[in-house]
Amino acid sequence: MGRGDRYSRGAIAFHWSIAALVLFNLIVGLFHDAMPRAWGVIPIHKSVGIAVLVLTLGRIGWRITHKPPHLPELLPAWEKATAHTVHFILYALLLVLPVSGWLLSSNPERPRPINWFGLFEIPVLPATPGIAHTAHEAHELLGYLMAALVVIHIAAALRHHFILRDRVLARMLPGAHRLG
């Protein structure tokens, strides 16, 4: 696999870092009510969300300056269009979910500033109670959408690797240039 057939090391690092953080936050977001309160997972969830926001902004900057490899020519047009659409929605969610979480923490009736991993406090955003409530509802619904798209994204990658046996997944794997 040539250099132009795979993602750059920076893109790979952004992808897997964000993927790990998103999976963690999805698990915490979906199951925090069942977790012992003593674990204090929500402050960590908020810190991870801000990290996802910052890394996503970095990833978008990287993407603008580093062209990704093309999808295989043999893929049908509908599949390429679906891949581009799902990626666009994932990028949008990687921005909107953290901002909606930040807004819901900024409710002026009960502001809960984000203490980023105990290092520093991130100030609340200007929000009304109505905006904070809408952000809370959006955060919850969009979290389910993100979970669904993550499952679809993983399933598609595994389909390419194990069923179609093409190089779509391998080009995003660290060290894939060494794979046969």
Model confidence pLDDT, tens digit, residues 84-124: 999 999 999 999 999 999 999 999 999 998 999 999 999 99
* Pairing verdict, β 120-122 and 114-116: antiparallel
Q: State the average pLDDT over residues 140-146.
A: 98
Question: CA torsion 55→59→83→139, rounded to 10°?
Answer: 30
Residue 83 has pLDDT above 80, yes or no: yes
Residue 36 has pLDDT above 60, yes or no: yes
- Secondary structure (DSSP) of 88-138: HHHHHHHHHHHHHHHHHTT-TTS---EEETTTEEEPPPP--HHHHHHHHHH
Closest-CA residue to 112 (of 120, 139, 121): 121
Residue 3 has pLDDT above 60, yes or no: no
Q: Please give the model's pTM, rounded to 2 decimal places.
A: 0.91
Residue 1 has pLDDT above 80, yes or no: no
